[in-house]
Structure 1
Amino acid sequence: MVGMDEVVALYDDSGRPVGAAPRSRMRAENLRHAATGVVVRDPLGRVFVHRRTDTKDVYPGRYDFTAGGVLLAGEDPVDAARREAEEELGVSSPLVPLGEADYADDHTSYHAFLFETTWDGPVRLQPEEVASGEWLTLEQLAAMLDDPTVLMMPDARALLGPWLRERLADRVEPEQGWDSHTVVVEGRWVDRTPQRPDVAPRLRAETVVLPRLAPLLPVAVPVPVVVETEPLRVRHPIVPGEPCDPEALTAEDGRLVGELLQALHATPPEVYAGSEVPDGPAAYADLLEVLGAMRERVLPMLPADRRAEGARLLDEVAEPPTSRCLVHGDLGPTHVLVLDGRVHGIIDWSDMVVGDPAHDLAWTLNGTPPEFADALAAAYGVTPELRARGLLWQRLGPWFEVLGGVDFLGQEYVDSGLEGVLARL
């Protein structure tokens, strides 16, 4: 708790201690002193922004995005920063130095020692100094700083505004998928926003299901969190690895993916309960609707002598599966990550449904080397029926590309998809 009679360190213009004075005198005469500022971030990179109490001796009631305070006489800056972060917010994680700087206005004049820390625990507000607070994304914090009606601490704005802008600029857009707009944030996190309204429920479903599912699987998967609701944005730490080269997959990889699919397809219903993952009947109804669109809009694009084969494929896929379970729904080489030469993770779960288990066996059995496919089949326990239906799903794959091209992706995807449709028929 702040005391007006505590003795604080005084600093000269070169940033060195030159004496001490009671806090009350330092404030009354605006003497140059030293202070700390700690930016507290969570494991998703959000910053804790708080409002100061109305009883603070300088800038009461203002918003701040640092925890900090003045250095006491003889106090080390790192020790002071740790003390203030613990007192104000209950934060005790290791500090990363951000440098030193100077600030002065009509109310305060000090040499600043700045730090950053990542805190994964509960925040405990000091009632004498902190009125309220919440975790905000850098974009939300920047909007506050840019809004002249928001009473923000001027020293935090001046000293750490450049830090904020530098990190906001650290955004990389990889090759984009069909459903979500993806951004790599600060080289540590992946942000996704829906490209179409129908994708939003799928992203929200991931934030419910994947945290429950991750401990049940033998490979790494994203664990996304909603970081903004309007517009929707979800974020997860980067899953290490690179998209696999199918020809480099080994029997050991096949065994691991077989075990993964076995665990995934045995997922108990409580894992996806309460989510927006389409359940069995809803997923089957959606499939029939998609197959109807393919029959109406893709089938007429095939050469006349190939349409009967195409219609037969659509009929066979439309047959209800004998069992339904939680499936990934889009397993392919871009979504299987390898690290150090071995399968390490599975990403992009936005097509997750309670549906036909053979869907996940399409590419894994029919687009991979024999040694991988055989090991997967043995580890999973693939039956002749599943193998046959997996081949149907593999043949259907390019039809989705054609339909997507017609709907929103463009003629390039239509042409590429049609080539694949004819090759797989």
Structure 2
Amino acid sequence: MERVAIDEGFVRDLVRDQHPELADLEIRPVPSGWDNQLWRLGDELAVRLPMTERAPALLRKEFRWLPELAKRLPLPIPTPQHFSEPTARFPRPWIVARWVPGEPADGAEIRNVHQSVDNLARFLRALHQPAPVDAPTNPGRSVPLATLAEVFESRLAAEAEAVDVRRVRQVWSQAIAAPHWTGPAVWLHADLHPANALVSDGTISGIVDFGDLCAGDPATDLAAAWKLLPQDAADSFFSAYAMTTEAAIHRAKGWAVLSALDLLSIGRAWERGLPGGQPTWGRVGRRILERVFAFA
């Protein structure tokens, strides 16, 4: 798709063309995610415009599944409200979704740890239900950790000077040696890093960006014990989640270190002025490793 200049007037014209009943609502830009440009639409809605090649398929997936999942989830999510077809003006599909208030956790302190632990555990218990046979899968999330060994080795080699290689390898080895998940594939958010959890008044209050939504091993999401929560909160989280095993915790630690290595790489890209970098993510990656290493 050729790059187009997107401003308030452009977004208003898109809305007026396909959703005229919403065209008089206030429109204003807000910080955007990896795949989509985001605009507030009034107080309760947001326009999500896909900016990457993969983004339209992710939006279609969210539109298909999130309204159904949202009914049972105890935290607000950006449930799609209106689907918008490609046009000559903007040749990709886009959606109008529910606006979820809060600040991303990569830039907001979680002060109310007890309530945040409870909110996250309740959210994942509600989400982690058996997925239907036609649920989406993800080649980087719906698979046993051991199948990602080459990805792990590549990421570790790239960050070897920035991490304790011995301890990272130890966690990874324990994770891939743990018994595999043998239960039914459950629904996963599959991308629970701090930019995708929202914080209000010091408490985790919402979850966004379900582009990686898929079915798989719940341990993939349980890595959030170290990715989202402050140090020493993981034990309380697993007690509140109440549906885990020692093997699942080992697998979750493996997913956490794999994610941390990825976040470190993205942070390093920002430091070097490379495309795709994020200024806070290197720090987030280091904190995740510290929390995993400190976990008994």
Distance 1:252 1:375, change over 3 A: farther
TM-score by length of 1: 0.50
Matches of 2:101 and 2:61 in 1, distance apart? 22
Counterpart check, 1:236 vs 2:97: yes
- Tell me which of 197, 201, 206 is aligned to 2:62: 206
- Tell me which of 57, 65, 72 is aligned to 1:216: 72
Structure 2: runs of 5+ lacking an equivalent = 1-10
Counterpart check, 1:391 vs 2:253: yes
Is the contact between residue 365 and residue 377 of structure 1 (CA under 8 Å) also seen in structure 2?
Answer: no
Structure 1: runs of 5+ lacking an equivalent = 1-136, 145-159
- Tell me which of 348, 368, 382 is aligned to 2:209: 348
Counterpart AA for 2:211? S
Match of 2:276 in 1: 409
Counterpart AA for 2:189? H
Match of 1:184 in 2: 40
- Cα shift readout 1:224-282 (whole Å, capped 9, x = no counterpart): 1422343121221212334454541332332232222112112x323xx545x216898
Distance 1:316 1:226, change over 3 A: farther
Counterpart check, 1:283 vs 2:283: no
Is the contact between residue 110 and residue 202 of structure 2 (CA under 8 Å) also seen in structure 1?
Answer: no
Matches of 1:241 and 1:260 in 2, distance apart? 16
Matching of residues 60-79 of structure 1 within 5 Å? none
Matches of 1:182 and 1:366 in 2, distance apart? 24
Matches of 1:304 and 1:282 in 2, distance apart? 25
Counterpart AA for 2:237? L
Counterpart AA for 2:150? G
Is the contact between residue 39 and residue 46 of structure 2 (CA under 8 Å) also seen in structure 1?
Answer: yes
Matches of 1:203 and 1:289 in 2, distance apart? 27
Counterpart check, 1:295 vs 2:146: no
SS in 1 for 2:71: helix
Deviation at 1:393, TM superposition (A): 2.3
Matching of residues 23-34 of structure 1 within 5 Å? none
Counting strand residues as a fraction of each chain, which structure ranks higher? 1
Deviation at 1:214, TM superposition (A): 0.9
Matching of residues 117-136 of structure 1 within 5 Å? none
Match of 2:187 in 1: 326
- Tell me which of 120, 133, 136 is aligned to 1:257: 120
Match of 1:269 in 2: 131
Counterpart AA for 1:188? E
Matches of 2:50 and 2:176 in 1, distance apart? 28
SS in 1 for 2:85: strand
Counterpart AA for 2:276? L
SS in 2 for 1:177: coil
Matches of 1:299 and 1:409 in 2, distance apart? 19
Match of 2:4 in 1: none
Distance 1:274 1:219, change over 3 A: same
Match of 2:222 in 1: 361
Pick 1 or 2: higher relative contact order, CA cutoff 8 A, min separation 6: 2
Distance 1:365 1:249, change over 3 A: farther
Matches of 2:120 and 2:279 in 1, distance apart? 32
Counterpart AA for 2:83? V
Deviation at 1:318, TM superposition (A): 5.1
Q: CA RMSD in A?
A: 4.1
Matches of 1:333 and 1:411 in 2, distance apart? 12
Match of 1:195 in 2: 51
- Cα shift readout 1:175-216 (whole Å, capped 9, x = no counterpart): x33233222234432222333223332222111111011111
Matches of 1:304 and 1:196 in 2, distance apart? 30
Bigger Rg over Cα: 1
Counterpart AA for 2:120? V
Matches of 1:313 and 1:214 in 2, distance apart? 34
SS in 2 for 1:248: coil
Distance 1:388 1:180, change over 3 A: same
Deviation at 1:325, TM superposition (A): 1.8
Matches of 2:115 and 2:281 in 1, distance apart? 36
Matches of 1:325 and 1:282 in 2, distance apart? 12
Q: Percent identity?
A: 24
Distance 1:384 1:274, change over 3 A: closer
Distance 1:317 1:237, change over 3 A: same
Is the contact between residue 255 and residue 372 of structure 1 (CA under 8 Å) also seen in structure 2?
Answer: no
Match of 2:197 in 1: 336
